[in-house]
């Protein structure tokens, strides 16, 4: 079997079994779950980014459930790297363009997209395809490469990171969406919802010098939570993250995981990732550390999980 075919096969198996041990099993078996108006987490599999996002939002009450007319919206993707979409270093541009359009259609007065990139921000914005995706659907993309764009906030519930300078666009918005890509990361082990928050702050050096995982968990205690964490797993980076070295590091999964809960979203995403690249969730320490800080839950069995295969 060719290497590419192997991973394609592994991905299919992983998608089919990601939620076999959680609350979804009760749905499949016809058992009753606790009653919720909307699911706590939605996993959509087998479609294009736009189709999967629309279906997930439908299950969650539609975009108007989160965005009201006249509101200022921020979307925070991963645009950290000067890489093209097929390398899976950045969030899929189709997913971002679809979300921008939905927010505009819901009556948002402004939709702003930004990331504090790791490489030249102009090249990252352009070559990722995200700048074009945003502008073509009526959004606005702003830089994050200067300290003047940030304001300091306190993190009273944090353990190590007691304060942070956060981008003013996020501080001033009415609602925001966290849209990371699922990928391997050399330092944090995996980059998902909470790791994506490092792109909203100015001083990332502190993180690397004061227990990276604890600081990631600490930042997740920031009081202004995203309306949703929308994890792009259409094409993921299975190895050599966060940049990747070649196209062989990317695997097509055609999946999307959506939840307002940081910890639940990252836990479910790790279950998916581990089917392609075996990884112990305990090694991604910021997930359990965030749970200890009451950011969210790893116990998916207690949540109302909706799984959709297109």
pTM assigned to the model: 0.89
Task: List pLDDT tens digits, range 179-192.
Answer: 999 999 989 999 99
Instruction: Report the length, in residues, of the chain.
Output: 310
Q: Describe the chain by its helix, strand, coil percentages, rounded to 5.
A: 40, 20, 40
**Which pLDDT score is estimated for 138?**
97
Looking at residues 72-97, what average pLDDT do you find?
98
Domain boundaries, the chain: 40-309
Task: List pLDDT tens digits, range 152-180.
Answer: 999 999 999 999 999 999 999 999 999 99
Q: Are 59 and 42 in contact (CB under 8 A)?
A: yes
Query: CB under 8 Å to 205, separation ≥6 — which residues?
Result: none
Query: CB under 8 Å to 106, separation ≥6 — which residues?
Result: 63, 64, 67, 68, 69
**Confidence band (pLDDT; 50, 70, 90) for 278?**
very high
Q: What's the rounded Cα separation, in Å, for the pair 127 and 82?
A: 6
Question: Per CATH, is 40-309 categorized as 3.40.50.11440?
Answer: yes
Q: Are 56 and 65 in contact (CB under 8 A)?
A: no
């Amino acid at each position: 079997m060719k290497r590419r075919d192997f991973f394609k096969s592994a991905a299919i198996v992983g998608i089919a079994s990601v939620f076999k041990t959680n609350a979804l099993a009760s749905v499949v078996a016809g058992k009753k779950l606790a009653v919720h108006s909307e699911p706590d987490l939605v996993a959509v599999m087998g479609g294009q980014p736009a189709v999967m996002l629309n279906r997930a939002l439908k299950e969650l009450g539609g975009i108007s459930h989160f965005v009201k007319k006249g509101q200022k919206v921020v979307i925070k993707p991963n645009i950290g790297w000067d890489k093209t979409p097929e390398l899976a270093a950045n969030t899929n541009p189709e997913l971002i363009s679809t979300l921008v359009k939905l927010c505009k259609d819901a009556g948002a007065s402004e939709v702003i997209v930004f990331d504090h990139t790791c490489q030249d921000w102009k090249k990252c914005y352009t070559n990722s395809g995200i700048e074009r995706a945003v502008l073509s659907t009526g959004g606005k993309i702003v830089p994050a490469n200067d300290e003047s764009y940030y304001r300091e906030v306190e993190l009273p519930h944090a353990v190590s990171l007691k304060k942070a300078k956060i981008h003013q666009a996020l501080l001033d918005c009415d609602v925001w969406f966290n849209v990371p890509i699922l990928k391997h990361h050399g330092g944090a082990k995996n980059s998902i919802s909470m790791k994506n928050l490092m792109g909203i702050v100015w001083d990332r050096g502190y993180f690397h010098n004061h227990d990276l995982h604890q600081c990631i968990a600490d930042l997740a205690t920031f009081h202004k939570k995203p309306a949703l964490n929308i994890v792009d797993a259409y094409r993921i980076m299975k190895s050599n993250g966060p940049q990747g070295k070649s196209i062989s590091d990317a695997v097509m999964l055609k999946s999307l995981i959506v939840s307002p809960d940081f910890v639940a979203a990252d836990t479910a995403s790790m279950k998916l990732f581990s089917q392609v690249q075996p990884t112990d969730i305990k090694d991604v320490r910021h997930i359990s550390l965030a749970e200890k800080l009451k950011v969210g839950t790893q116990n998916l069995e207690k949540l109302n999980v909706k799984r959709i295969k297109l």
